[in-house]
Structures are given as C-alpha cells and as structure tokens.
Structure 1
Amino acid sequence: MPDSKHPMPASPEICTMAQLQDESARTDLLNRLKRAEGQLRGIQRMIESGDACLDIASQMAAVRKALDSAYVRMTVCFMQQELRQKLGVSEAQEPELAHMLDDVQTLLGKVR
C-alpha cells in the first residue's frame, strides 16, 4: 500500500510491443505454428494408441525445435521491422541489415 514515503507513480508506464506488420512474415509464422500444431496432434494420437515412449519423446523434441525455430524467426522479423523504423534504414542499407539479421538468426538458432 502506498504511503507518504512510498507514493505510487502518478501514471504507470504501459509498455506495448509492436505487432509484426509484414504480411509475408506473419504468414510464414502462422504456417510454422500450424505445422507444429499438426505434429502435436500426431503425438496425441501416438499416446492414445500406446506407441513407445522413445518414439513419442522423439516427436516431442521435433515439436519443441519447430516452436523454437518459429520463435527465433518471429524475433528476427520483429528486430528487422523495428530497426527499419527506428533507424530509418534506407534501401541501400537493406541488404546489409538483412545479412546482419541472417547472422543473428543463425546465432540464435545455435542456442536451441
């Protein structure tokens, strides 16, 4: 509870994250998620039919990798969009930005 020594801020700052504006990036991301959704349904069928745990675990690992990949792709697309807007990247600089972000995507992919 706030008191005279610790008053609440007058107006809390609200942090909102931008949405992906590139339609092709959103389509790509949705397709990746739909594929992972299909893999999850397959895993559910495997469990229902009593498949071996090792086979199920293998498929779970594949879904996790697919979701991690989708997350990295979304993050890189977001970075590209924000860097373009905030830094005013010109058409001449676009290839350099794309190359740098490809490297970032590769590096992030290694973390998984």
Structure 2
Amino acid sequence: MTADEMKSVVNRLRRAQGQIAGIIRMIEEGRDCEDVVTQLSAASRALDRAGFAIIATGLQHCLSEQDPLLAGDRDEMRARLEKLFLSLA
C-alpha cells in the first residue's frame, strides 16, 4: 500500500476504534439498547469499509503490476481473493 492508501485505512480504523470506545462507555453508563446497537452497526460498517479498502487496493496492485500472485495459477488467485472477500461478508 502507498502512504496515502495506508493513511486512509488507518484513519478508518481509528474512527472505528473511537466508536468502539464510545460503545463501551454507553454500555457502562446503561444507555438505551437501541442506541448501543446503532453504534455497533456503525462501527461494524467502519471496519468493513477498512477491510474492503485493503482488498480493493490489493486487487488494484495485482492487476496493475507484476505481482507474484498473478504469476501463479489463476484459479488459485481467484480462490484466495474470494476467501478474502468472504472473510468480510
């Protein structure tokens, strides 16, 4: 990943980290369940977006450069990428 790509992903993860800290405080304060679940959903989306950004960046690099992943069997590459996507599903 380039420095800019890494910065974007790290910012997303820091945002999620802040959301999770807020969720913990909400639970400790006995906040409404609906509010907690709403914030859990937002944190989950932030983590998903970070994961998808990492995968998308990896795909971009694989398709634009001579990557060892491309040198191998295309079926193996497809299976590895599919596994990555499914790990976030």
1:69 aligns with 2:49: yes
Structure 1 length-normalised TM: 0.58
Read off the aligned partner of 2:60 and give its amino acid letter.
Answer: Q
Structure 2: 5+ residue stretches without partners: 68-84
Q: With a CA cutoff of 8 Å and minimum separation of 6, indicate the structure with the bigger relative contact order.
A: 2
Unaligned runs of 5+ in 1: 1-19, 88-107
Greater share of helix residues, 1 or 2? 2
Whose radius of gyration is greater, 1 or 2? 1
The residue aligned with 2:75 is none
Q: Which 4+ runs in 1 deviate beyond 2 A?
A: none
**1:80 aligned to 2:45?**
no
Structure-2 residue corresponding to 1:6: none
Q: Distance in 1 between matches of 2:13 and 2:66?
A: 28
**How high is the sequence identity, in percent, across the aligned residues?**
35
Aligned to 2:37: 57
The two structures, once aligned, show a CA RMSD in angstroms of 1.9
In the superposition, the TM-score normalised over structure 2's length comes to 0.72
